[in-house]
Amino acid sequence: MVKTGEFKKTAELLSISSATLTKHMKYLEREIGAPLLNRTTRAVEINEFGILFLPYAQQLVEIHSQLVEEAADLKKSNVE
C-alpha cells in the first residue's frame, strides 16, 4: 500500500480482495496497537507508526523468502 497508495490496487497485486486486505490490516493494527496508515476516501498514506513498522515487515518478508528457498533446497537434497 505504501507503493500504490490504494487498498484496491494493493489487493489486486496480492491477488486478494480489498475486503480481505482491509481485514488483515485492521488485525495487524490491533496487534500493534496503532494505525499504520492514514486513510482518506481517495488515498492511503503511511504514517509515523507505519514508517517505524515498515523495515520490520520488509525483514519478515525476506526471512520468509529465505526459509521457503532453504526448505525447497533441503527437500531436493533429501530426494536425491
The answer to whether residue 2 is domain-embedded is no
* pLDDT at 12 exceeding the cut of 80: yes
CATH number at residue 65: 1.10.10.10
- Residues paired with 45 in a beta bridge: 38
The answer to whether residue 21 is domain-embedded is yes
- What pLDDT score does 7 carry? 87
Using DSSP's 3-state secondary structure scheme, residue 45 falls into strand
- Tell me the per-residue pLDDT of 18-61, one tens digit each, with 9 for 90 and over: 999 999 999 999 999 999 999 888 888 999 999 999 999 999 99
- Residues paired with 37 in a beta bridge: 46
d(CA 37, CA 45): 5
Provide the domain count of the chain. 1
